[in-house]
Chain A
């Protein structure tokens, strides 16, 4: 009953059939091969008990180069001369590393998995390096997407970003997906944003803070792409984000809320309307001006300009606060700050030290205004703004 005839009769069963015929009867692609080629490599792998990680190849992979491009780049780096290897060896080595990285990528999406998995034996220092590099991002890229909604729509724009920045599309995708993944994970979580990111993605403190800024910006959709904001670096925004998270979010008042570090404190924003009195009440505005001018007379190189501009500047800063109840205006926060404060000062050539003197005095003198009752509110607002403005004030 086990004769060959019987077997081929049943081999129509798809799952069973191939084993029977795997060895003798197949070899399909052979005829297609060009004559004269003596041998072709079908399979070529290297597996170490400790997973080999080549940092240079990892970088090329992260940068989104294809195997062919990566081999070309490695050849250009002079590695063949250093090691006496052949191009074929380099090709095989690169393929191998790429395959390893590809397998590791799934784990890198949830870094704690990388630590607990059993398949790849990787020393802890190397694990940390893999994670840190995987989540690292390009300044040029992050500036393009900072404050944008991390959605499919934005993902479609990656093509343009890739062309504009010269970063490969593959790398752009990875960076975008990283932002999105971190966002999704920490979105609804309690506790400190930075801590959450660190705990779930095992990033260094520095990188976790950057991600906190990215998540915060994405959540509040702050506009950062306008032309007049182009002079600002990611670092500038990240600095502001940190101050705002510390002072303006729900977490600043209550550490047990969901989303506490991601969303701005709505109540606080509502209250900011109360600050309007500082510019609406003419007496209060004059008093404020005189207090600041008295204190700064002789100490400011640009005193006359300041004196002339005081009301405009103060109106600008207070109006920004008063408008923050509307989402649209929250998004334009940085545009407004630059328009209403940075640009006027810059056009008058205020040195940074003068800006600092002015802002110090401007914030402090409010405490001496007897008719003004919202001192705490003012401090919460101005304390953060003070830091942000100083950071934003550069060329």
Chain B
């Protein structure tokens, strides 16, 4: 018996009235784990029962601990008839199974019923005593930590990043079992919730085992998804990146050490560090600016004369001897060889991470994606989910070969998704082909790794833009120029990636959200015919989505896309494509050319006039956008570049394929052949529509920015005010005379209106940025389009923004105009001394402010008002991996929850909007309650993975399934941290108690 689970039921409150006669409730509680059930006494006639039960003890093995949820049912005792269920609470006890996370789960949980929603709350205490188990053949994987965060978690250090782990489990969907016909909807929903909870636990345990096999201790970037395949079953699958993480000791947790690869870093006595700047870790190393702004030879000499603030520089030997700036063919080959060996043992060299430790990412090739259309069949043997496994393996193989074609041996920012309609399923995978630095990938002892680290090579900020493939043997026609930053290496003219913007990348101006939206009608068909029709449509959709993205990027005057996510959704009679990405102007890449419009019939005068009018409009838009996003790249004469200005020409960074059920693989060239790509030919009304639609996207109102990446390039002084939200819209299309154009317009309007609504709703937060904007499209019925958006709005300090961007531009000017490294170094040093580093991580900006003598008091005044006298602690939620102005001090475990809500009184609950509004609010509440019970005060990397909504207004019924996940954490405000860490005698206790109550 390797574990003892102990549960105590303390009290309930706000219970519903179950006895009409007395307006009271006789409540008792059933506590169930596995097959064991305990009951409390009945607490008579109260809506706020005080059970104060004994400790219920379950003796279980750790395999069950991982798989099973703790199930708490609150019931109303009835002497004469069956006891009525009030509701349930499922508690995932996984966070209690590893030592560094939570030690106890204790708090008020909403009592949830799938028909009535939340009905009061129950106070529960849960503990686990684990016994050491020496059995080597055990099936459990207790102790492996899971993180949804797609970067190395803030208070950890990556020793080794092992690589891809995946698993899937299948089962019959209870909703489609024969028993479902005779049981109530409540029983059916609960069976489903319980099954999915079990399957998630099992999946996590299996993945954990794989991690242990790889000798890792954690999974980062863990993404778990459900495929509701209807009759053919229920698939729960997960992917992640296995890592060996080292917990940074507590004072170090506040230091940038977590991201710093340098050994010296570790040896610095952190708490004696006089420089307050270092008390910030933010999403990246604050000091990296110093680290990366020197050429290696310089750094060496500097180190010898450096003061205590020099934490960053290490002499480089071995493979690092060729500076990144000068790295040539031989180095590249060497690097590839080394990494290859590290990656070769791996079946799939994939990483679900989107942000990396400095130095990890060497080159980025471009986006690789693969899609496959499959026909679902019944899963006959749930224990052998071979077909689903084979499908995914096939797709991953494709991705791998695409990456190889791009001269890359790894794929980063990797993700997988499905879209299901009836028996047709589209499987999609995408990622960014990349060349990685082998030092994080190699197996070995910790010591060995540290040695490796010393030999680290420091790439320049433009290194990742350099092409990884062979110039003479390019996988697709592309136009290369010398890097505008280092002038040594070749870069492409446009770069598409699925990862976050590397924190050391030099960006000019701000970024913006770019979306390509597309609909295609298709005939209704059955089975094979349907799958074939979809397969035939896919390449065209990919092509058009890509063209739209490229045009919109040009229109914004930008040259790179980050966080690209292309979602293809299949419905009964249409396909929808939605691509979202964050456009930026990378200083290393060439300035994008404009967009030229050409007419087909040049003899018509009025037509010509129209064309030139359009052209003017487009040019104006580009100019306006450049101003709006502060894109003012330095003017560089041709001689400096040493190569002719590239002809504008569209090329593709995407390499992809579609395969249908017949497994036929077709490669698609998206490069428009030899055609001059930025010439848009207007030869028919369709093309005209396309140009029009380009111009209909309105920029966000002033004071608003938006992006789908973690942070917005060019904004770095976030305040602590954040607002996470989910917005859902469903529109019904009239079935009459639907054309592709009308459909496109509807879809476009839907997305644009949704964004406009968001801007309006959040106007009180201006100046503000919508970060991690995540659109999901689904087609629940024939003519229904559902769009779900989750994002976080963060306010920033406008004055400071101006200041830093100015220096930013100045700096890039300096960088660009000086080719000489000697000269380069001086202004940079000035820069970093006066303002610290400057693609400042958000948290950093606050620290800078505090470092100034006046800033201290000001900051505290501006921080959020204390939430005194509130009995419910505030729990923040954010899709980002960090909280602005705060330090994450502890990860408490993964939150992965699945809820079903159903109603048979839709009108009474305020119609579909009222129903879903209440349900989402309830889901948020349950997530917050679980986090609070774990002792946390925030959820980071929060994601709503699924929101399946079905209605039947005729029968006054609706049903919704929601799946959310994230990492429960404890954070401490930086203002409090400072008080604690520096032990200032002047620090008044008021400031520490203001925010302290948040954690209660």
Residues of A participating in the B interface, judged by any CB pair closer than 8 Å: 1-2, 10, 13, 15-16, 18-19, 21-24, 26-30, 33, 35-52, 83-86, 88-90, 92-93, 95-96, 99-100, 102-103, 113, 115-121, 123-125, 127
Please tell me which one of the listed residues B178, B742, B757, B912 contacts residue A1 in the complex, with CB atoms under 8 A apart.
B178
Q: Given the interface contacts A22-B952, A26-B952, does A49 sit within 8 Å of B736 by beta carbon?
A: no
B residues less than 8 Å from A100 (CB atoms): 917
A118 and B728: CB pair below 8 A? Answer: no
Q: A30-B783, A47-B727, A99-B910 are in contact. Are A38 and B734 (CB under 8 A)?
A: yes
Contact B953 A29 (CB under 8 A): yes
Whether B979 sits at the interface, judged by CB under 8 Å, is no
Closest to A97 in B: B761
Shortest distance from the beta carbon of B759 to any chain A beta carbon, whole Å: 8
> Does B869 interact with chain A (Cβ within 8 Å)?
yes
Bound complex: CA A50 to CA B869 (Å): 17
Tell whether, in the assembled complex, residue B756 and residue A116 are in contact, meaning their CB atoms are under 8 Å apart.
no
Q: Which residues of B contact A116 (CB under 8 A)?
A: 13-14, 871-872
Contact status B757-A46, CB under 8 Å: yes
1/0 per position for B849-872, CB-CB distance to A under 8 A? Answer: 000000000000000010111111
Which residues of the other chain, A, contact B750 by a CB distance below 8 angstroms? 39
- Of B231, B736, B761, B784, which one neighbours A46 at CB under 8 angstroms? B761
A13 nearest CB neighbor, chain B only: B181
* Given A27-B782, A115-B871, A83-B760 contact (CB < 8 Å): yes
Q: Check if B478 is an interface residue, CB within 8 A of chain A.
A: no
Asked if residues A48 and B913 are in contact (CB atoms below 8 Å), the reply is: no
Task: Indicate if the CB atoms of A15 and B184 lie closer than 8 Å.
Answer: yes
A93 touches B736 (CB 8 A): no
Complex Cα distance, B760 from A89, in Å, reads 7
- Does A48 contact B724, Cβ atoms closer than 8 Å? yes
Contact A124 B732 (CB under 8 A): no
Chain A contacts for B225, CB-based, 8 A: none
Contact A28 B954 (CB under 8 A): yes
Chain A residues, CB < 8 A from B723: 48-50, 52
A108 to chain B minimum Cβ distance, whole angstroms, is 15
Binds A, one of B49-57, B525-533, B636-644, B921-929: B921-929
B952 pairs with A10, CB closer than 8 A:
no
Judged by a CB distance under 8 angstroms, whether B437 is at the interface is no
Using Cβ atoms and an 8 Å threshold, which residues of chain B touch A127? 870
Whether B925 and A124, one on each chain, are in contact in the complex, defined by CB atoms closer than 8 angstroms, is no
Bound-state CA distance A103–B963 (Å) is: 23
B877, CB-defined interface residue at 8 Å: yes
Residue of A with least CB distance to B754: A44
Q: Are A23 and B950 in contact (CB under 8 A)?
A: yes
User: Smallest Cβ distance from B935 to chain A, in angstroms?
Assistant: 16
- Flag if B782 contacts A119 (CB, 8 Å): no
Ordered by A's residue number, 25 sampled pairs between the chains whose C-beta atoms are within 8 Å are A1-B178, A22-B952, A27-B781, A36-B736, A38-B733, A39-B733, A39-B749, A42-B731, A43-B729, A45-B917, A46-B758, A47-B920, A48-B723, A49-B723, A49-B876, A49-B928, A85-B759, A89-B760, A90-B760, A96-B917, A113-B14, A115-B870, A117-B872, A123-B867, A125-B865
Q: Cβ of A45: which chain B residues have Cβ within 8 Å of it?
A: 727-729, 913, 916-917, 920
Find out whether the CB atom of A124 lies under 8 angstroms from the CB atom of B736: no
Minimum CB–CB distance for B233 against chain A, Å: 13
Binding site for A on B (CB under 8 A): 13-14, 108, 110, 118, 121, 175, 178, 180-182, 184-185, 188, 231, 422, 701, 723-736, 742, 745-746, 749-750, 753, 756-761, 763, 780-784, 786, 865, 867-872, 874-877, 904, 910, 912-914, 916-918, 920-922, 924-925, 928-929, 949-955, 957, 959
Complex contact A88–B753 (CB within 8 A): yes
**B181 and A115 form a contact (CB under 8 A):** no
Interface contact B921-A18, CB-CB below 8 Å: no
A23 proximity list for chain B (CB < 8 A): 780-781, 950
Among A41, A43, A115, max chain B CB count under 10 A is at A43
Decide: A19 near B914, CB < 8 A? Known: A40-B731, A86-B756, A118-B108: no
Tell me if A85 and B727 are in contact (CB < 8 A).
no
CB of B644, distance to nearest CB on chain A (Å): 43
Main secondary structure of the interface of B (DSSP, over half): mixed
Question: Given A10-B181, A41-B729, A103-B918, 20 more contacts at CB 8 Å?
Answer: A2-B178, A2-B231, A16-B182, A18-B955, A23-B781, A24-B422, A30-B783, A39-B734, A42-B784, A43-B912, A44-B730, A46-B758, A47-B725, A50-B723, A83-B763, A89-B756, A89-B760, A115-B871, A124-B867, A127-B870
Contact of B732 among A18, A36, A40 (CB under 8 A): A40
Q: Check A117 against B753 for contact (C-beta < 8 Å).
A: no
Query: A3 CB to closest chain B CB, in angstroms?
Result: 11
The answer to whether B760 touches A30, judged by C-beta atoms less than 8 angstroms apart, is: no
Closest to B919 in A: A47
- Which residues of A have CB within 8 Å of B760? 83, 85, 89-90, 93
Contacts of B736 in A (CB 8 A): 35-36
B181 engages A118 (CB within 8 Å): no
Residues of B within 8 A of A83 (CB): 701, 760, 763
Chain A residue, CB-CB nearest to B874: A121
Give every chain B residue within 8 A of A47 (Cβ-Cβ).
725-727, 917, 920-921, 924
The residues of A that contact B188 with a CB separation of less than 8 Å are 16
Contacting residues, chain A, for B914 (C-beta < 8 A): 99, 102-103
In the complex, which residues of chain A have a beta carbon less than 8 angstroms from the beta carbon of B876?
A: 49
- Shortest Cβ gap from B90 to chain A (Å): 16
A46 to B727, Cβ gap below 8 A?
A: yes
**Contact for A99 among B870, B875, B917, CB less than 8 A:** B917
Instruction: Find chain A residues with CB under 8 A from B121 CB.
Output: 118
Chain B residues closer than 8 Å to A51, beta-carbon distance: 921
- Tell me the bound Cα distance from A85 to B872 in angstroms: 35
A99 to chain B: closest CB distance in Å? 6
Could you tell me the distance between the alpha carbons of A43 and B781 in the complex, rounded to whole angstroms?
Answer: 14
- Chain A residues, Cβ within 8 Å of B920: 45, 47
> Cα distance A2–B757 when bound, in Å?
46
A369 to B576, CA, bound (A): 98
Cα of A47 to Cα of B925 in the assembled complex, Å: 11
| Chain A minimum-CB-distance residue to B121 | A118
Is A16 within 8 A of B917, CB to CB? no
* Chain A residue contacts of B781, Cβ below 8 A: 23, 27
**Residue of chain B at shortest CB distance from A41:** B731
Assess whether B872 is in contact with A118, with CB atoms less than 8 Å apart.
yes
CA distance A50 to B725 in the complex (A): 8
With A and B bound together, what is the CA distance between A97 and B278 in angstroms? Answer: 44
CA distance A15 to B904 in the complex (A): 9
How far does the alpha carbon of A27 sit from the alpha carbon of B860 in the complex, in Å?
56
Out of A15, A48, A93, A115, which one reaches B757, CB within 8 Å? Answer: A93
Closest chain-B Cβ to A258's Cβ sits at a distance in Å of: 21
Q: A49-B723, A49-B724 are in contact. Are A119 and B118 (CB under 8 A)?
A: yes
Min C-beta distance of B23 to chain A, whole Å: 13
A103 touches B952 (CB 8 A): no
CA distance A121 to B2 in the complex (A): 39
Q: Closest chain A residue to B735 by CB distance?
A: A30
Q: A102-B910, A116-B13 are in contact. Are A35 and B924 (CB under 8 A)?
A: no
Which of A50, A93, A99 gathers most chain B CB within 10 Å?
Answer: A50
User: Shortest beta-carbon distance, A120 to chain B, in Å?
Assistant: 7
Residues of A within 8 A of B955 (CB): 18
Q: How far is the CB of B232 from chain A (nearest CB, A)?
A: 12
For residue B14, give the distance in angstroms from its CB to the closest CB of chain A: 7
10 nearest CB pairs, A to B: A43-B730, A48-B725, A42-B730, A49-B724, A47-B920, A45-B917, A49-B877, A118-B925, A46-B727, A28-B954
Query: Nearest A residue to B763 by beta-carbon distance?
Result: A83
Determine which of B763, B868, B912 lies in contact with A42 in the assembled complex, contact meaning CB atoms within 8 Å. B912
Q: Which residues of the partner chain A approach B118 to less than 8 Å between Cβ atoms?
A: 118-119
> How far is A254 from B910 in the complex, measured between Cα atoms in Å?
50
Bound together, the chains give a CA A31 to CA B701 distance in angstroms of 38
With contact pairs A37-B734, A49-B725, A83-B763 given, residues A115 and B872 touching in the complex (Cβ less than 8 Å):
yes
- For B727, the chain A residues whose CB sits under 8 A away are 45-47
B444 CB to nearest chain A CB (Å): 43
Question: Do residues A103 and B753 form an inter-chain contact, with CB atoms below 8 A?
Answer: no
